[in-house]
């Protein structure tokens, strides 16, 4: 069932059910993060391997110390400036966070979502929500309530419709050790803002194939059913392919000749990275549903949100 009733959604969560919630990034499949049985239902509904940890969502920074300890002062400073928003912090967990949430890690990923409907729910609950993206594991993340319904259907007790997601990419995840901040997952927050604010070293952690230290780090993820090839030059790629039953995901079509393709979707004709991020998963889904033989996608500008977009495309692409 899809609706906009936050009271209904809140009660379902209190009763141990699962609710798809809107956030500024993507829709999440939410449940009581402190209840192991509920957390297990999240993994089961998504068919998600238990070695891939979950993010917990809180309404307010003041609640952080109830679930995490030894929080670095810089994290508190960054959260005060940039949250609520698409930034997640990897911190030492307290014992009240089940090991299943963190896949056995002593660290838990915490974020403070910005969407008003979800913030209303969180403010009325006395527990945090574990909420990975509301899609089958490994598939394209949902950015509308209708996407969730098409993917998970009856596996969700209620889908809270908050409209299309404004950011469209999962949150950026950061960790810290000493005076070095590590971006564990590129996402909907421009991590360079942290470097500019702190003047500290900033490093980017590359993909993991197993036992990731934070959510969304697996090498293959966010993938359509149709093979997707990530290239630097689409025109050169299609020139060497006689196939016309193909789809193209480009970034600024301009005057390029893509008439050979069955479907062409432009993430942003003006090459605006915010627009491209918002369109990414929706356009991938439309191409996936078009009965194509394969999809050709091109990298976007490798800066700001472009780092997160290219990261998702790389994980969705055919390897080798």
> Model pTM?
0.92
Residue numbers of the chain with a pLDDT score lower than 50: 209-210
DSSP assignments along 63-99, one per residue: GGGGTEES--HHHHHHHHHH-SSSEEEEEEEPTTS-H
User: Does residue 275 fall inside a structural domain?
Assistant: yes
* Residue whose entry in the numeric block shows the structure tokens 């590359």: 206
Say if residue 32 is preceded by a cis peptide, omega within 30 of 0: no
Round to whole Å and give the CA distance between 103 and 35: 14
Do 189 and 236 lie in one domain? The reply is: no
User: Does residue 222 fall inside a structural domain?
Assistant: no
Do 245 and 156 lie in one domain? The reply is: no
Do 16 and 129 lie in one domain? The reply is: yes
Tokens representing 223? 């993938």
Q: What is the pLDDT of residues 215-252, one digit of tens each?
A: 655 556 678 999 999 998 888 888 887 788 999 999 99
Question: Which residues constitute the domain of residue 13?
Answer: 2-204
Three-class secondary structure of residue 121 per DSSP? helix
Whether 58 and 112 have beta carbons less than 8 Å apart is answered as: yes
Q: What is the pLDDT of residues 272-285, one digit of tens each?
A: 999 999 999 999 99
Do 81 and 159 lie in one domain? The reply is: yes
Do 196 and 235 lie in one domain? The reply is: no
CATH number of residue 175's parent domain? 3.90.870.10
Estimate to the nearest angstrom the gap between the alpha carbon of 242 and the chain centroid: 35
Round to whole Å and give the CA distance between 98 and 34: 6
Round to whole Å and give the CA distance between 47 and 56: 19
User: Does residue 221 fall inside a structural domain?
Assistant: no
């Amino acid at each position: 069932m899809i609706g906009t009733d936050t009271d209904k959604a809140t009660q379902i969560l209190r009763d141990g059910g699962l609710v798809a919630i809107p956030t500024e990034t993507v829709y999440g499949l939410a449940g009581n993060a402190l209840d192991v049985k509920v957390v297990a239902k999240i993994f089961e509904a998504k068919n998600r391997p238990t070695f891939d940890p979950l993010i917990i969502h809180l309404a307010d920074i003041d609640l952080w110390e109830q679930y995490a300890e030894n929080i670095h002062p810089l994290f508190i400073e960054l959260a005060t400036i940039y949250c609520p928003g698409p930034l997640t912090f990897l911190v030492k967990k307290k014992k009240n966070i089940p090991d299943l949430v963190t896949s056995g890690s002593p660290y838990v990923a915490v974020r403070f979502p910005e969407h008003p409907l979800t913030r209303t729910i969180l403010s009325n609950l006395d527990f945090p929500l574990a909420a990975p993206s509301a899609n089958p594991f490994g598939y394209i993340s949902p950015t509308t309530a209708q996407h969730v319904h098409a993917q998970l259907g009856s596996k969700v007790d209620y889908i809270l419709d908050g409209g299309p997601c404004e950011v469209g990419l999962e949150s950026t995840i950061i960790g810290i050790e000493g005076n070095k901040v590590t971006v564990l997952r590129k996402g909907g927050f421009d991590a360079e803002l942290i470097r500019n604010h702190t003047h500290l070293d900033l490093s980017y952690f590359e993909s993991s194939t197993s036992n990731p230290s934070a959510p969304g780090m697996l090498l293959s993820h966010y993938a359509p059913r149709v093979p997707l090839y990530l290239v630097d030059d689409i025109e050169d790629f299609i020139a060497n392919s006689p196939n016309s039953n193909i789809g193209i995901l480009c970034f600024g079509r301009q005057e390029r000749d893509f008439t050979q393709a069955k479907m062409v979707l432009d993430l942003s004709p003006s090459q605006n990275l915010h627009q491209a991020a918002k369109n990414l998963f929706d356009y991938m889904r439309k191409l996936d549903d078009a009965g194509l033989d394969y999809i050709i996608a091109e990298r976007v500008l490798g800066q700001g949100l472009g780092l997160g977009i290219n990261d998702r495309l790389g994980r969705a692409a055919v390897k080798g």
